[in-house]
Structure 1
Amino acid sequence: MAIFTMRSLVAGLQLLSLVAAAAIDLSPRSVATDLQGLVTTSSVDVAVRERWNEVDAPIPAVIVSATCEKDVKAVVKYCAKNKLPLVPQNGGNGWASFNLNGTAVILNLAAFNQVVVSADKKTAVIGGGAIISDVVTAADKAGVLIMTGNCNCVGALGAALGGGFGNLVGELGMAVDNIISLRVVTPTGQAIDVSRTSNPDLFWAMRGAGPNFGVVTYATVKAVPTADRTAWLTALTFDHTKIADVAQAIQELALLPNQVVFFILGNSGDANNTPTVLVTGFLRGGDEAAGRKAFESLYALGPQTNSSSVAPYTGWNVANDFFCARGERKPAFHTSLHNMKASDWPAVWDLYADFQKKPGAENSAILVEVYNYGKAKSVGRGATGVSDELRFNSFAQAVAIPWYRDAALDTQAFSFASQVRDIWASPDSGKTNTAYINFAHGDEDLTAIYGSSLPRLKTLKKKYDPKNVFGHWFSLA
């Protein structure tokens, strides 16, 4: 893959294959030259972000680093006219695979990283290239909370447009529920405002299936002013023989709106990279006494180790920063869970421990995120393009993440992670499982991704993007 800033787009490239039967035969050199003449010249040199997962990563012919809305409009128009596959890049953390085959233009939005909190502290404007740490830093400085995901390096709006789970979901709802308006460049290259009162059907669709409809340059979201922006955090490790008991305890937790629990199988970090069972707990505004009471049933199981602390807003996600390491191979397999089904977990442990001990696979992990869904459900059914099945039927979001360096392990990695997903999704586990688009592997049926929203989304896709300009992320075409 060749990577370019706007000043080096004209570098020599290999020939570009035909994009479609009706496409114009363009070489990367000609595409780069054309785009160089269309976009704004800027002294800002925005580095293109390496993708988080190397498996089936997009292999573009040209990468354009846009610096203003005019650039975005020009690139979209050009790609639509010439039938070139176009993929906007926010944080570069996609888990699902793309099928671009070296013919695409990636539109990098890293320069759109501004986050501005309003004077009354009730709203914030987030740029399409801002990552979650940008949002948290700006929010904390302004004395507000903003609903985001839990990994600092992930694109804030990329995560939000797919639904958006995070530490504040129990109090503020999903990230899509906190979006007030969007500035969108449509497939025709026009920039429009999208909200409940302006293009309301597109506003509904963008909140759940945004990448199918346009490029978001900015979003206005809700902000919540609050003096106490601390959280009590705990980390407990358990012997793997207690894994079923831990799963059952999590199942029986009556989570408070300000409480979150993560269940993780991961590397203990010792000299032998020994796998371990880890539970992390989050309680916004809590202290040691409140935290131990909220997670009392887990403490009662006798963890091998435990640690806790009160962290500032900017420290909530720090423990997840190791997940931000870019590169290497991480072909994640995911499904939502309707319950923990404790009896499944010894088999899941065996599959995990067997793969994790392979050379170079020591950082593989299994992650289960458990939230209080009360606020997310309060918006009602059909409120956004997010699957109602995901919003109303989920107990947790589970993902198996083989993490390794050698492509020779691909077959074994896929086998391990897909077997774990099959256990989670077995008929004994309850109703048909849905998938959270931001965690999805890429082989899921669209019904699993979009659920009951799918028919309306398909209709709106025909209305707003009949030529499928934006069709490389769980396409609705």
Structure 2
Amino acid sequence: MVISERLFHQQSLYCQPETIYTCQSSWISTPMPDLCVMSHTGKAIELPDETLQKLASRLHGDLLHQESNAYETTRKVWNGIINKHPALIACCHDQNDVITAVNFARTHNLLLAVRGGGHSVAGHSTCDGGMVIDLSRMNHVSVDQAARVVHVEGGATLADMDQATQAVGLVVPAGAVSDTGIAGLTLGGGIGWLRNLWGLTCDNLLSADVVTADGQCITASHAEHPDLFWALRGAGGNFGVVTRFTFRAYPLKPDVWFTAVYHDGRYMKEVLQFYREYSATAPDEISTAAVCGQFPPGSRDFPSELHGHPYVMIVGMYAGSVEQGQKVMQPLRDFRKPLIDFSKPTTHLEAQKFFDEDYPAGELRYYWKSLFLAELSNDAIDTLVDHASRQPSPLSGIEILYSGGAVTRLDDDACAFAGRKARFLIFVESNWKEAQDNDANIAWPCDLISALQGGTEGSFYLNFSSTAEEKESTMRHNYGNKYQKLVAIKKRYDPTNLFRLNQNIKPS
């Protein structure tokens, strides 16, 4: 992870609550030959031109194939290690398009991926040879300021939602990288700068409009289809395509205090012990992370004498007055002399973009692992310090996120999310540039998580985990006594496992 000082410029609002999203209906832009498309069983199926033209004519959006002008840019996803070529991409304009695409995929037994923001580190939002339902054009956000309710389409990003809500002084708890898709974030849980005060993103979901595997659109909430609503909050994209989310929002003024202070990595153990003790008594308005990394060689953001030197950064936001935030977060800056201190008053919108530059789309290869820990023991800290010294890429890092407050006060059975009672989330991120370095950068996070797993329940965070987490035994272990309930819900809403490109829960 490369962290640099942020300029915190205020950006223009491009998604106001009253904005109406429009898209011109279009037919497929290039003539289609008969196509071989991959089925969900791995068998190639030939779809004639007539069948494809009929599908294209029923979409308000576009149907792309490999000869389409927009195919190459549309097929690419955020993670540079994922390089897949779907046979068809249905760029949906509205919910009816999603229904049409789901029905087509089911009728023809196609391998199907669903793309919201395209930010899946595991690459679940695309596939080779199959069909992708792309929701990126469905990014409208509407805000009911009086009711403090926000409606978000399935292709919207955090930036879309944050700018719409902050325009009227509201906020929905979300993640911490602005181009993350709301859909994947919510369905996996949603951990961000407001978690300790107002909970996870999925904790603030009021309802979801879902296109299920049989092509029906249903609304899931506490009152309607409560079993599906329970599963959507933390078990990923297993149960359908969510075309609209409805969230509870909270009042938050634009100006906040943001702490970003680098301590000398030679004292990593001491810093992490201090972070552990500070977090245990911090008010709920504070949500933070400790980041272990290296100052990257050649960076112009840091003094040259620090290049290659290890650091521990403590970063976080206070959701309240700037003055109070500076006061209560001051110990994070003062307990020992820092190498660099970028702490300052800023806006919530800019705080949400603090990490954006560190995760460029398509430029880096990403492989991540995660693990929830009940406590951050001294032995765990020793393991983290040891592995931090051996990270193969200077762009990588280890994040330790403390969760308390609203996250842990909610009953663990309230929804499918696993790891609610854990106090710490260990997030190990390998970020690198060259394919020749793949093996070392994939092995490093796996080795660290394996070293930490003794004595833990073994739950992980879906949104911070790459492809190795897809085994059935891993999913069963992750959800524990919730797993059989999830299997039953999967069987009810997706009995043929049409939605299988995810951290999959099989319907039997």
TM-score, with structure 2 as normaliser: 0.83
Letter in 1 for 2:118: G
User: What is the alpha-carbon distance in structure 2 between the residues aligned to residue 86 and residue 41 of structure 1?
Assistant: 18
Report the more deviating stretch, 413-422 or 283-292. 283-292
1:386 to 417, 434, 456: 417
Given the alignment of the two structures, is residue 375 of structure 1 paired with residue 406 of structure 2, yes or no?
yes
Map residues 71-82 of structure 1 onto 2, 5 A cutoff. 71-82=97-108
Map residues 219-298 of structure 1 onto 2, 5 A cutoff. 219-226=245-252, 228-253=253-278, 254-268=281-295, 269=299, 270=302, 271=304, 272=307, 274-287=309-322, 290-296=325-331
Letter in 1 for 2:28: R
TM-score, with structure 1 as normaliser: 0.88
User: What is the alpha-carbon distance in structure 1 between the residues aligned to residue 132 and residue 38 of structure 2?
Assistant: 16
Displacement after TM superposition at 1:292 (Å): 4.3
Structure-2 residue corresponding to 1:305: 340
1:329 to 362, 365, 379: 365
Q: Which runs of 5+ in 2 are unaligned?
A: 1-25, 64-69
Structure-1 residue corresponding to 2:7: none
Map residues 68-467 of structure 1 onto 2, 5 A cutoff. 68-98=94-124, 102-226=128-252, 228-253=253-278, 254-268=281-295, 269=299, 270=302, 271=304, 272=307, 274-287=309-322, 290-296=325-331, 299-327=334-362, 328-345=364-381, 347-356=383-392, 361-371=393-403, 373-387=404-418, 390-392=419-421, 394-425=422-453, 427=454, 430-444=455-469, 445-467=474-496
Letter in 2 for 1:454: Y
Q: State the aligned residue count.
A: 459
1:9·1:36 contact (CA, 8 Å) conserved in 2?
A: no
User: What is the alpha-carbon distance in structure 1 between the residues aligned to residue 202 and residue 129 of structure 2?
Assistant: 32
Q: Which runs of 5+ in 1 are unaligned?
A: none
- SS, match of residue 438 in structure 2: helix
Per-residue displacement from partner, 1:157-214 (whole Å, max 9, x unpaired)?
A: 2201111111111121111111111111110111111111111111111112241111
2:85·2:127 contact (CA, 8 Å) conserved in 1?
A: yes
Change (3 A) 1:17 1:318: closer
2:40·2:109 contact (CA, 8 Å) conserved in 1?
A: yes
Letter in 1 for 2:291: I
Change (3 A) 1:302 1:11: farther
2:373·2:456 contact (CA, 8 Å) conserved in 1?
A: no
User: What is the alpha-carbon distance in structure 1 between the residues aligned to residue 125 and residue 205 of structure 2?
Assistant: 30
Displacement after TM superposition at 1:437 (Å): 1.1
Per-residue displacement from partner, 1:271-303 (whole Å, max 9, x unpaired)?
A: 545442211132122435643433515521222
* RMSD between aligned residues: 2.7
- SS, match of residue 427 in structure 2: strand
- SS, match of residue 52 in structure 1: coil
User: What is the alpha-carbon distance in structure 2 between the residues aligned to residue 90 and residue 9 of structure 1?
Assistant: 25
- SS, match of residue 79 in structure 1: helix
- SS, match of residue 211 in structure 1: coil
Letter in 1 for 2:285: N
Letter in 2 for 1:7: I
- SS, match of residue 55 in structure 1: coil
- SS, match of residue 336 in structure 1: strand
Displacement after TM superposition at 1:108 (Å): 0.8
Change (3 A) 1:378 1:51: same
1:10·1:36 contact (CA, 8 Å) conserved in 2?
A: no
Identity %: 23
Per-residue displacement from partner, 1:229-253 (whole Å, max 9, x unpaired)?
A: 3221111112222100011011112
Per-residue displacement from partner, 1:47-81 (whole Å, max 9, x unpaired)?
A: 63732223355542221110011110000000011
Change (3 A) 1:276 1:339: same
User: What is the alpha-carbon distance in structure 2 between the residues aligned to residue 112 and residue 18 of structure 1?
Assistant: 26
